[in-house]
Amino acid sequence: MVQINSDCNIAAQVCQQARLSRDARFDGQFFTGVITTGIYCRSICPAPAPYEKNVRYFDSAIKAANAGLRPCLRCRPDSAPSSFAWLGTQTTLMRAIALIDQGFLNGENSGTVVKLADKLGISSRYLNKLFNQGLGASPKRFALYQQLMFAKQLLHQTQLSMTEVAMAAGFNSIRRFNEIFKQELLLTPSELRQKSRHSTDVTHPYKDNQVSTNIKPITLALSYRPPFNWAKMLAFYAFRQVDDMEVIDDISGRYGRTFSFNGVEGVFYISPNADKPQLDVSIYLADANDIKSLHYITMQLRRMFDLDADMEIIQQALSPIIKLGAQIDNGLRIPAAGSVFEAACRAVLGQQVSVVQATKLLNLLVESYGETLFIDGKVWQLFPTAQAIANASLDELNMPGARKLALNALGQFVHQHADSTPDDWLSVKGIGPWTVAYANMRGLSDPDVFLSSDLVIKNRLHALYEQSGKPIESSKSYLSIAADIAKQASPWGSYLTFQLWDNDPVAAKNG
C-alpha cells in the first residue's frame, strides 16, 4: 500500500470529532481520506465511519486527489462548500482562485497561466510557487480538478446530456472530457451517472438552439455550513426589492431575480432546502448556448448568498460588540447585489434619503433604462448596463442634479474601464469613500468592510457604549474607537457592519 500522509491545517483530533459527529459546520473545511478504500469524504458523509488508523486528513479536495484518492459517491465532495480560509492573508492566491473559478484557464476563450500571472501583476513562476505551496498543485492542475468536480456535480444533480455537461464544465470537446474524467476518477461520466443513488427530476433543458421562454430550468443544490439565517437575508432583499427584476415569495421563502454575469443573462430562483444545509436553485438561461458559463454563474450565486462563509470563525471577530452587550445572530451573512455596478448605483441613490425612497428611485431607474427578458412566462427587467446609465437623462428621478451627474459619470467610467475596481471610482466626481466601501461590500462581497462612518453604525456604537457605562465623548474618540474595533474585527468587518445594522431598531430602514 502506498504511504499517504495527512496534509491539513486543522488538528487531527478536531477533524476526528467533526467526522464522527458528522458536523456540518466543518463541511468543506477538510476532507477525510480513507486509505483502505482509496476514497475521500466530506465531514458529513453518511457512510459508516472508518477506523482512525485508516484515515488521513486534507484541507482541500485537490490535496486528497493528489494523494491518489477518489471522491466518495455517497457524500459527493464536489457539492461541499468551498473553504480556502486556511490560506490566511495570501490575497494573491485567493484572487487567482477567483479568476480560475470564473473560467480564466478553461473554455473557448481561456487564457494561459502566463496571462493569469500578468493579470495578477506577478510572474508565472511565482504564481506556480504560490499554488504548489498553498494547494499542492499547479494552477492548471487546480483548474482542471475544479472542472471535473463541477462536471461530477452536474452528473449527480441534473439530466443534462454528456455534451452539455462537458460544455458547462469548460471542456472544449466531449472526447477530452471523457478521457480526463476516466483518468482522474477511474469511471467514465456515464458510469458515474449510473452509479448515482438518485438524480433530480430535471428534464433535458434545451434542444438545439432553443431560447428559454417556456422551458424547465437547470436545478442545482448549493451547500453551505450552518448556521444561516435565510429569513433575515430574504427580509433584507424584500425591503429593497425592485419590481420585475426581483420576486419574493414570503410563504415559501423563495427569492428570484434576473442576472447578467459577464454578458450571460437569465433568471434564477433560490430557496432553502427543508432537510439539508443547502439552497436549491433553478437557473433559466436566456440563451441555451450560454450553458458553457454555468460554472461561473454557480460561483456568482455562491458569492451573492455568501455560501462559503465560515460563521464559526467569523463569530470570533464579533467580540468587540459582544463585550458591549450586543445580541449577535450567528447566521447573519452578507446579502450581495447582482453586480458591483448595481451595488454602487444603490449606494448613490441612497445618499441622504431613506431606503424606502432609495428603493423607489431604483425601481424607476430599472423600469426606465433596464432591458427586458421573457422567461418562465413572465416579462423581467435586467439591471441597466453602465452604458445605459452613462447615456440616461435620469429625468424620471426626483433627486439633486449633482447626484444625477455622479450617476452618469460613474456609468461612463465603468463603461470605458470595464476592469476597474471600486477604488478606481474615487476619481469620479460625486463618488466618495462610503459609496466605494458599500460597493466593495455588497458588490464584490469583500468580507472586511466596516462602515464606521455610516450614521446607523455610529448611533448603534454610541448606544452600546452608553449602555456599558463608557459613553463616547467626542468625534475624535469615536474615530479612535471605530479604528480599534475595525482592527479587532478584521478580516470580517463586513459581518460586523451587518450585525450592527441588525442590532439597531431602525436597521431595516438603512443599508
Q: Can you give the length of the chain in residues?
A: 511
**Grid coordinates given for 169:** 464544465
Q: Which of 208, 106, 94 is nearest to 151 (CA)?
A: 106
Residue 143 structural domain? 85-195
Q: Which DSSP category does 326 fall into?
A: P
Helices 91-101 and 139-157, axial angle in degrees (round to 10): 50
**Grid coordinates given for 352:** 441622504
Task: Yes or no: say if 471 and 465 are a contact pair by the CB < 8 Å rule.
Answer: yes
| Residue 211, domain member (yes or no) | no
Same domain, 471 and 402: no
| Residue 319, domain member (yes or no) | yes
Task: Yes or no: say if 342 and 383 are a contact pair by the CB < 8 Å rule.
Answer: yes
Distance between CA atoms of residues 203 and 252, nearest Å = 23
Same domain, 326 and 463: yes
Same domain, 154 and 242: no
Q: Are strands 39-41 and 70-71 parallel, antiparallel or unpaired?
A: parallel
Q: How many CB atoms lie within 10 A of CB 279?
A: 21
| Residue 206, domain member (yes or no) | no
As to burial, measured by CB atoms within 10 angstroms (0-12 exposed, 13-18 middle, 19+ buried), residue 46 is: exposed
* Residue 447 phi, psi dihedral angles, 5° rounding: -75, -10
| Residue 1, domain member (yes or no) | no
| Residue 286, domain member (yes or no) | yes
Same domain, 104 and 177: yes
Same domain, 345 and 434: yes
C-alpha distance from residue 448 to each of 120, 212, 347, 451 (Å): 21, 38, 18, 10
Output the CA torsion 242→237→26→130 (10° steps): 50
Same domain, 417 and 288: no
| Residue 7, domain member (yes or no) | no
Same domain, 279 and 417: no
Q: Where are the alpha helices (DSSP H) in 49-138?
A: 61-66, 91-101, 113-120, 124-135
SS3 217: coil
- Kindly report the CATH number assigned to the domain that includes residue 145: 1.10.10.60
- Kindly report the CATH number assigned to the domain that includes residue 233: 3.30.310.20
One digit per residue, pLDDT tens: the chain, 511 residues?
457 778 888 899 999 999 999 998 899 989 999 999 999 999 999 999 999 999 999 988 999 999 999 999 999 999 998 866 445 446 788 888 888 887 888 866 578 899 999 988 999 999 999 999 888 899 999 999 999 999 999 999 999 999 999 999 999 899 999 999 999 999 999 999 988 754 443 334 443 333 334 467 999 999 999 999 999 999 999 999 999 999 999 999 999 999 999 899 999 999 999 999 999 999 999 999 899 999 999 999 999 999 999 898 898 889 999 999 998 998 999 999 999 999 999 999 999 899 999 999 999 999 999 999 999 889 999 999 999 999 999 999 999 999 999 999 999 999 999 989 999 999 999 999 999 999 999 999 999 999 999 999 999 999 999 998 999 999 999 999 999 999 999 889 999 999 999 976 444 344 5
Side-chain half-sphere of 147: how many Cα atoms within 13 Å? Answer: 28
| Peptide linkage before 320 cis (omega within 30 of 0) | no
Residue 108's pLDDT is 61
Distance between CA atoms of residues 501 and 509, nearest Å = 9
> What's the pTM?
0.86
Q: Which of 179, 136, 511, 147 is nearest to 334 (CA)?
A: 511
Distance between CA atoms of residues 222 and 119, nearest Å = 29
Same domain, 246 and 295: yes
From 443, 466, 493, give the residue that closes a domain.
Answer: 443
Strand partners, 280: 221, 271
From 60, 79, 98, give the residue that closes a domain.
Answer: 79
C-alpha distance from residue 299 to each of 2, 67, 81, 196, 261 (Å): 35, 26, 11, 24, 11
Distance between CA atoms of residues 344 and 155, nearest Å = 38
Distance between CA atoms of residues 356 and 74, nearest Å = 47
Same domain, 346 and 396: yes
Distance between CA atoms of residues 312 and 89, nearest Å = 18
| Residue 203, domain member (yes or no) | no
Same domain, 72 and 99: no
Same domain, 67 and 119: no
Distance between CA atoms of residues 371 and 374, nearest Å = 10
From 46, 79, 112, give the residue that closes a domain.
Answer: 79
SS3 224: coil
| Residue 422, domain member (yes or no) | yes
Q: How many CB atoms lie within 10 A of CB 248?
A: 15
Same domain, 436 and 455: no
Distance between CA atoms of residues 25 and 488, nearest Å = 23
As to burial, measured by CB atoms within 10 angstroms (0-12 exposed, 13-18 middle, 19+ buried), residue 14 is: middle
Which amino acid is present at 212? S
Q: Considering its fold, how many domains does the chain have in total?
A: 5
Task: Yes or no: say if 445 and 334 are a contact pair by the CB < 8 Å rule.
Answer: yes
Residue with cell 446579502: 335
C-alpha distance from residue 386 to each of 26, 72, 264, 283, 353 (Å): 40, 45, 15, 24, 23
Q: What is the largest CA-CA distance in the chain?
A: 74
